[in-house]
Amino acid sequence: MRTLGVLLEKEFLQLFRDPFMPKMIVFFPILVMLIFPWVATLEVKDVRVTVVDQDNSSLSRLISNEIEHSAYFEFQEVAKDYDRALLRLEEDRTDAIVSIPAGFEESLLKGSPKKISISANAVNAVKGSVGSQYLTQITGSAQQEFLQEKGIQGLSVPEVTVTNRYNETLVYRNYMIPALMIMLLILVCGFLPALNIVNEKERGTIEQINVTPVKQSVFMLAKLIPFWVIGLVVVAISIFTSFILYGLVPSGSWLEVFLACMIFIILMSALGVVVANYSSTMIEAIFLMFFVIMIFVLMGGLLTPIESMPEWAQYFTFILPSRYFNTIMRATYLKGASILDLRLEYAALAAFGLIFGLLAAITYRKRS
């Protein structure tokens, strides 16, 4: 225990004496939370819409009006015929066309509505698909509004309205913030310990430690505990920053957010040790760690949904701890899920923590 104490003292002294580290611990999460929620977004805005109104009824005017006043669209004109609108689409002067057929209002009131057609330029696939989805919603809700105003009930509206539950405003930012926290933890708690240990190897200072009776486990614990503390500080700073900037607070339990983070921090730091044990130079460690990070981030569902990956890739994600942590963080943060709802994910995360911890202990050798 006393050995752990003196080693911890050494690690913290070195940490605070480093000209770079203490500043990074504070400013890194703030900067990430300040910049990336705006940048890492798939949100579509300013979709240019041309409405072809062949009905010219109060309903069709209502739909045009709704589109005109939505923040997502840039309303361009009401064209009389579809061909002219299509020409505009081809010339890239508009992104989407909403075409309302003649007699539309009448058909709706009779209970057998004609279909509104939506054509979008899908060269920019995201803008195309998300834009037309928005349009589907907005035309649907306009029709519902219209029927309500007329006091008619029991008539069906043709389009399916997709309500975005949990992230109701569909603020993509909120969706990205938990994922950004995960990336921060991967960098701070995986990368930094690996580099720190390899640095001692390169300087030869670890050899002086290896020739003392210090136990491997005690030395490693002293190396990792500071990064656990740093990890929790980074989480706290990012939660606070995202509250101040975006008003986002975990809708689930704060304690559970921290618990999940703690498991993930331990797991990542153990992985960092394994990487360090297999690298004799910084370059090697950086390269290995980068590879791990890319897989964790790109395949863990942090940026793109796992459901949209090919099947083989979906199976592969089961062996990625970032997948489970991502599910826990988003569910706890945005949906308010509890540890009971997420018991499988917590169990998987803890199991990975154990495996990586064991690997870290086995692969560190004081003797060659």
Partner 1 sequence: MTHCNDCLISVRDLTKKFGDFTAVDHISFDVGPGEIFGFLGANGAGKTTAMRMLCGLSYPTSGTGQVAGYDINRQGERIKAHIGYMSQKFSLYEDLTVFENMRLYGGIYGLRRKEVEERADAILRRLDFLEERNTLVGSLPLGWKQKLAFSVATLHRPKIIFLDEPTGGVDPITRRQFWEMIGGAAAGGTTLFVTTHYMDEAEYCGRVSVMVDGRIMALDSPARLKKMYGAASMDEVFRLLARGAERGG
Query: Considering only 45-53, 55-63, 210-218, 311-319, which stretch makes contact with partner 1 by CB under 8 A?
Result: 210-218
CA 131 to chain centre: 21
Helix or strand holding residue 75 (H, E): strand 73-79
- Report residue 4 as tokens: 């752990």
Between CA 66 and CA 70, with CA 68 as vertex, the angle to 5 degrees is 70
Taking 3-state DSSP, the helix, strand and coil percentages for the chain, each rounded to the nearest 5, stand at: 65, 5, 25
Measured from the CB atom, the residue of 201 and 335 that comes closer to partner 1 is 201
213 near partner 1, rule: CB under 8 A: yes
Rg over alpha carbons for the chain, rounded to the nearest Å, is 27
By the rule CB under 8 A, 203 interacts with partner 1: yes
What number of chain residues touch partner 1 (CB under 8 A)? 25
Q: Least CB distance from residue 356 to partner 1, whole Å?
A: 25
Q: Is 51 helix (H, G, I), strand (E, B) or coil?
A: strand
Does position 232 bind partner 1 by CB under 8 A?
Answer: no
Per rule CB under 8 A, is residue 362 in the interface with partner 1? Answer: no
What 3-state class would DSSP assign to 15?
Answer: helix
Question: Is 201 a binder of partner 1 (CB under 8 A)?
Answer: no
Q: Of 3, 136, 167, 317, which one interacts with partner 1 (CB under 8 A)? A: 3
Member of 14, 117, 217, 281 binding partner 1 (CB under 8 A) = 14
- Identify which of residues 19 and 247 has a Cβ nearer to partner 1 in the complex: 19
Residue 214 contacts partner 1 per CB under 8 A: yes
Q: Which residue lies nearer to partner 1 by CB, 107 or 363?
A: 363
By CB under 8 A, name the one of 61, 114, 335, 366 that touches partner 1: 366
List the one residue out of 221, 263, 265 whose CA is nearest residue 361.
Answer: 221
H or E element: which one contains 50? strand 47-53
Of 30, 62, 209, 262, the one binding partner 1 (CB under 8 A) is: 209
* Options 108-116, 189-197, 204-212, 311-319: segment touching partner 1 (CB under 8 A): 204-212
Q: What are phi and psi of 365, to 5 degrees?
A: -120, 130
CA distance readout (Å), 131 to 73, 80, 98, 308: 8, 22, 11, 19
The footprint of partner 1 (CB under 8 A) covers: 2-3, 5-7, 9-10, 13-14, 17-18, 203-205, 207-214, 366-368
